[in-house]
Structure formats: C-alpha cells, structure tokens
Amino acid sequence: MALDKRPSKELTERLVVTKEGKRLGFVKDITFETRSGELIHLVIASPTTHALTLNLEKDKSGNVLIPYSAILAVGDFVVVSEEDMK
C-alpha cells in the first residue's frame, strides 16, 4: 500500500482507530527493516481494552504491534483494518 511520504515523527502520538471507529491506542513508534527500509509495525502506546482483546503481536517490552499492511489511511488519526491485523 502506498501512502504519502511523511516523517515518522508526524505519526507518533496519533490516535489509531479501526475503520469501524474503535480506538486502539496511540502510535508510540514505528519498526522497520534496516536494510530495505520496509516499514513493519506501528508500536502502540496505551492500548485500549479492545486492542488487547485482538491478541496482536507484542514486542519484548509488551507494546502492542500493528502490522503496517493494516493501515488504510493517515490523517488526523491512523485508520487500520482489523481484518488485516490477524
């Protein structure tokens, strides 16, 4: 999925919601493959109860990870597809 190029700091602290409008938390960081630059995950801070019930992957620190491929849109908040997170 091609999104407009933006500095990563523009995404941090944005609210992440599903396309159905359910809140998941806020973007804390972004993980990427260092050799290719491919974006891998959004790291979520303060995950909501709904985010925790989705059984998403977590990093070593216990932060919830949302696959980059699940992102549908980026604006005032980040919209993701629940179906693409599983």
In whole angstroms, give the CA distance from residue 45 to residue 16: 10
In whole angstroms, give the CA distance from residue 47 to residue 58: 11
In whole angstroms, give the CA distance from residue 80 to residue 60: 23
Give domain limits for the chain: 9-85
Encode pLDDT of 31-75 as tens digits: 989 898 888 999 998 999 999 999 899 999 989 999 999 999 998
pTM of this structure? 0.84
Residue-level pLDDT at 81: 96
Model confidence at 6: pLDDT above 70: no
Residue-level pLDDT at 65: 96
Say which CATH topology domain 9-85 has.
SH3 type barrels. (2.30.30)
Residues 6+ apart with CB under 8 A from 63: 28, 29, 43, 44, 45, 47
Residues 6+ apart with CB under 8 A from 22: 48, 50, 82
